Structure 1
Amino acid sequence: MSPVSVLHTWQAPESALAAARELLDEAFDGDFGDDDWEHSLGGVHAFAWDGDELIGHGAVVQRRLLHARRGTGVPHATRALRAGYVEGVAVRADRRRLGVGGAVMAALEAVVRGAYPLGALSASEDALEFYAARGWRRWRGRTFAMTPTGVERTEEEDDGIFVLPVVPLDLAGDLVCDWRDGDVW
């Protein structure tokens, strides 16, 4: 495996972005749609290559998250945080458990730690242990989304949100994500 390359979307060759989309489609068994791809664009990508073949990908995009300490209630958030939100993480099936995902995440975590007070992501059931082992902390509080009609509870996401706090944060508080098409988290 070559070193992981880190490029902003505008710097990435179209062929690299096309390879990333193909990898994500395969890794998620066709359950990675256009909205999911859109969520992965506009930030920093980590590409893991083996020669000319893309074997791993992930991205960090900026999002705005509102955080309220326990007992303060939503929508009266005490802080609005710029978050480095991790999207589109995948490793080719025949390269899993060989360190590729760890190398991709190490590159993304460096971006988060260098540019944001908080990293966040929504983990699939299969990836919960992977992120926890890397030091990501499961959000223990309630989750919400700021929608066009107001703040809405996202209970189904409560157990799958992980954060990488760069600044002190009450992990049992309320966390509200900004609105976007498709999966809000």
Structure 2
Amino acid sequence: MIELMTAHTSDIDRDVLYGARELLGEVFEGDMSPEDWEHALGGVHALLWEDGRLTGHASVVQRRMVHRGRALRAGYVEAVGVRAGHRGLGHGAMLMDAVERVIGGAYELGVLGASDEAVGFYRRRGWQPWRGLLSVLTPEGVRPTPDEDGAVFVLPGAAPLDLAAALTCDWRDGDVW
């Protein structure tokens, strides 16, 4: 039996959050830093259980993106992962359905940083690669982030977008995109 739950970080039991953190450590083979986990907190989580075992996680948190002179309210997708042995069964799609519903209802656009392995998955869901200059608004000012070219995807919503123009994200510790 598959069960999907969505809830704000504040409404999730600490043991469940700990389990999600452990799951993601396994999914990303130890490449999930404390900052990466922190980025996934403070928004809405989608948690997927199969036969009582946590098998998938995704979250969406609010971030600000500056585009064409406007600060846009973006739903930023974080920490999407499905346990090995459960991939290719539609679990990732169920998680993304949940976070995309939140994005559509609460944000002007969706944004995420995609791993090379996930690019096709996101494209098939209608996410589009950002083609313009990417940058981050740091405490010292705007800094280009060329290493992220081709990895940042958006899900257009209410805000008019020019995917070939510049997009600047807000500052945070760890990976900014």
Give the alignment's TM-score, normalised by structure 2: 0.97
Q: Which residue of 1 aligns with 2:153?
A: 162
Matching of residue 151 in structure 1 with residue 142 in structure 2: yes
Structure 1 segments, 4+ long, off by >3 Å, are none
- Aligned ranges 1:13-32 → 2 under 5 Å: 13-32=13-32
User: Once the 2 structures are TM-superposed, how far is the Cα of residue 51 of structure 1 from its aligned partner?
Assistant: 2.7
Give the alignment's TM-score, normalised by structure 1: 0.93
Deviations 1:54-82 (A, max 9, x none): 101000000000002xxxxxxxxx21101
User: Once the 2 structures are TM-superposed, how far is the Cα of residue 183 of structure 1 from its aligned partner?
Assistant: 0.1
Of 151, 174, 177, 1:182 maps to 174
Of 134, 140, 144, 2:131 maps to 140
Distance (Å, rounded) in 2 between the aligned partners of 1:2 and 1:142: 41
Q: Secondary structure at the match of 2:64?
A: strand
Q: Secondary structure at the match of 1:4?
A: strand
User: Once the 2 structures are TM-superposed, how far is the Cα of residue 98 of structure 1 from its aligned partner?
Assistant: 0.4
RMSD (Å), alpha carbons: 0.8
| 2:65–2:74 contact (8 Å) kept in structure 1 | yes
- Aligned ranges 1:124-139 → 2 under 5 Å: 124-139=115-130
Distance (Å, rounded) in 2 between the aligned partners of 1:111 and 1:136: 15
User: Once the 2 structures are TM-superposed, how far is the Cα of residue 3 of structure 1 from its aligned partner?
Assistant: 3.2
- Aligned ranges 1:6-155 → 2 under 5 Å: 6-68=6-68, 78-155=69-146
Distance (Å, rounded) in 1 between the aligned partners of 2:5 and 2:65: 28
Paired residues in the alignment total 176
User: Once the 2 structures are TM-superposed, how far is the Cα of residue 2 of structure 1 from its aligned partner?
Assistant: 2.2
Identical-pair percentage: 55
User: Once the 2 structures are TM-superposed, how far is the Cα of residue 179 of structure 1 from its aligned partner?
Assistant: 0.3
Matching of residue 172 in structure 1 with residue 164 in structure 2: yes
User: Once the 2 structures are TM-superposed, how far is the Cα of residue 157 of structure 1 from its aligned partner?
Assistant: 0.4
Aligned amino acid, residue 177 of structure 1: C
| 2:3–2:50 contact (8 Å) kept in structure 1 | no
Distance (Å, rounded) in 2 between the aligned partners of 1:96 and 1:142: 33
Distance (Å, rounded) in 1 between the aligned partners of 2:79 and 2:6: 14
Q: Secondary structure at the match of 1:172?
A: coil
